[in-house]
Copies of this chain bind each other. A is one copy, B any other.
Amino acid sequence: MEQKKILNISVDCVVFGFDTITKSLNVLLIKRYLEKNKEVLVDDYVLTGYHVYENETLDQTATRVLEELTGLKNQYKKQFKAFGDPDRLMNEKDLVWIKNEEFNLRTITIAYYFLLKTDDVDLNKNKYNAKWFPVSNLPEVGFDHKNIILEAYEDLKVKCLSEPIIFKLLPDKFTINEVQDLYQSILCIEIDNRNFRRKLINKKYIIALDEKQVGVSKKPAQLYMFSKDIYDKMFQKNYLISI
């Protein structure tokens, strides 16, 4: 049975992927292409998104969209903002596209972002020509999606300063350097090595393991794990006012 779409409400997904090799924070975009009589009318990239179905929640739409694009479920997901300006889809290419797709002229989109590792996505069999782009070096992006990406990125930066979501991008056992590299990549800052290490290893929810790195050419570093249990207990008991 075909599901009924709500024509003026969509969900768009900013899929952030961390590339552990290049240490780059990337966004997954899909190709938008339209030609008529051999003339290229639209050729750029957009976020992946879809209309909300009559019988599904907004979260379900987001999960469905991500799964169709990447095959993944159960990733860290955050609904971060609704975009609904009357003129959000009003440039020339967007109007051509909307007409061709029979989209509603005024559509409100509920934007989500996801956080995962680029490694976890297999793009080879992807039917949308999806491709990773560094957040710092986006291609031409259609609709108001560049704005949505940048707002998602700002939200992510603030969030990873106050919540331990960064550990979702690390292996279960990690070195302090890996945590620092990740923060540096996401926040685009240099962090003082010694201060950071001291601060981090003093946290009760960062647990030193009886293990060191294996298979590295340099001196193997101590491995740590993050305990969500301990973090949650501390957060409940003892709010940290950090303004």
Contact = CB atoms under 8 A, between A and B. Distances in A.
Interface in A228-243: 239-243
A115 to B, nearest CB: 15
Nearest to A53: B86
Contacts of A52: 84, 108
Interface in A163-188: 163-164, 166, 183, 187
Interface in A196-226: 196, 199, 203
Copies in the complex: 2
A93 to B, nearest CB: 22
B85 A82 contact: no
Contact of A57 (B6, B8, B9, B85): B85
Contacts of A106: 6, 54
Is chain A's binding surface mostly helix, strand, loop or mixed? Answer: mixed
Contacts of A54: 86, 106
Contact of A241 (B6, B161, B243): B161
Given A8-B9, A108-B58, A241 B86 contact: no
A162 to B, nearest CB: 4
Contact of A86 (B55, B82, B85, B108): B55
Contact of A162 (B6, B55, B203, B242): B242
Contacts of A81: 79
Interface residues of A, number: 38
A189 B157 CA distance: 27
B84 A58 contact: yes
B161 A243 contact: yes
A73 to B, nearest CB: 20
A56 interface: yes
Interface of A: 6, 8-9, 52, 54-58, 79, 81-82, 84-86, 106, 108, 110, 157-158, 160-164, 166, 183, 187, 189, 191, 196, 199, 203, 239-243
Given A57-B84, A84-B110, A158-B162, 6 more contacts: A52-B108, A108-B108, A108-B110, A164-B243, A191-B241, A199-B241
